Amino acid sequence: MRWTIAARPIARELVPEDFEKDANPAASPALREGELRVAVLMLSCDPAQKGWMENVAGYAEPTEIGQTMPALGVGRVLESAAPGFAPGDLVQGLLGWATEMVVAAEAMRKVRDEPDAPRLALGLLGSSGLTAYFGLTRIGVPQAGDTLVVTGAAGGVGSIVGQIGKIAGCRVIGIAGGPDKCRWLTEELGFDHAIDYKAEKVKARVRELAPDGIDVLWDNVGGQMLEDLLARIARKARVVICGGIARYQQQGRPPGPASYFNIVFKSARMEGFLLGDFAEDHDIGRDRLRKWLAEGRIVQRDEVVDGLENAPQTLLRLFRGENRGKLLIKVAQ
């Protein structure tokens, strides 16, 4: 079974009709040199997937209508025509919404076969955890005593950013939607404060909680939220632009942050990055995160939805902001 891309969600929200179910895909041909046949075990839901469907320039390989919906995932090798890979190996990389796929081995990474390996590899030790780790440590450069504000704080990346911020000695303020998520941030993840943007006035609350301004701003959201927070940065602030959930869902292109000029008054820096920029150091990041997890200093929180059947609805939930932590789809054991 697989799901294909049926339409491009450009300048609009994702809808279930953007995907088409293919209950009986053609049997994949014999492997060519360098290929692997993989049983898909687990897939992750990522904001970037909408960009892939839109063919946003600069983000990824172009997608085609009718192709299997791409998704990052973990699978088990069923058959190998590539040196260094054997049946039974766990691999991670760009897979898709299918029970079985044929992929180029060079695009796959072998995953350590540890307990809960697929979940770990896609969550804390995967793109979310590494994005949080490298974006915060290398771009945000938090200093002990800094005030770190994280938007989209209950998401897969934001929930880890805040926890690493605590380890780095920051005062951490998370912004999320709804009292449950906010309680989760402060009570389970150890954030110092959480602001419920659906019920509270973000600008006024940030002024109360961070009277000296924001030293590190981690933005997953964009739009009005980013504009309000840029107005509250401290001198020499670092603004890490990671995502733009507000942007993904809007009709047409939203305006940029009118308060951007505050980076001049505050001698501040606003910077973006792609996870691949730090590819050489990914193993260093994984080791740190694994250690913090083992020491109980980071809580790995994700939500695993069972069944490839539910993939479209699950990805839609991500864009409605209904998840806490990383949202994963379990395809097989």
CA–CA dist 54, 314 (Å, integer): 19
Neighbours of 99 (CB within 10 A): 15
Is 268 a binder of a copy of itself (CB under 8 A)? yes
CB of 160 to a copy of itself, least distance (A): 18
Q: Count residues near a copy of itself (CB under 8 A).
A: 34
Packing angle between helix 158-167 and helix 282-294, nearest 10 degrees? 70
Is 57 a binder of a copy of itself (CB under 8 A)? yes
Place of tokens 């697929």: 118
Of the candidates 272, 287, 306, 307, which one interacts with a copy of itself according to CB under 8 A?
A: 272
For residue 109, what are the β-bridge partners? 92
CA–CA dist 270, 135 (Å, integer): 12
Is 227 a binder of a copy of itself (CB under 8 A)? yes
CB of 139 to a copy of itself, least distance (A): 9
CA–CA dist 191, 293 (Å, integer): 16
Residue type, 94: L
Residue type, 64: E
Is 273 a binder of a copy of itself (CB under 8 A)? yes
CB of 244 to a copy of itself, least distance (A): 5
Q: Which residues between 164 and 223 bind a copy of itself (CB under 8 A)?
A: 222
Of the candidates 10, 67, 265, 284, which one interacts with a copy of itself according to CB under 8 A?
A: 265
Sort 134 into a burial class: Cβ within 10 Å, 0-12 / 13-18 / 19+.
buried
Q: How many CA atoms lie within 13 A of 231 on its CB side?
A: 13
Is 271 a binder of a copy of itself (CB under 8 A)? yes
CB of 106 to a copy of itself, least distance (A): 22
Of the candidates 110, 269, 288, 317, which one interacts with a copy of itself according to CB under 8 A?
A: 269
CB nearer to a copy of itself: give 2 or 232.
Answer: 232
* Binding residues for a copy of itself (CB under 8 A): 56-59, 222, 227, 241-244, 247, 253-274, 277
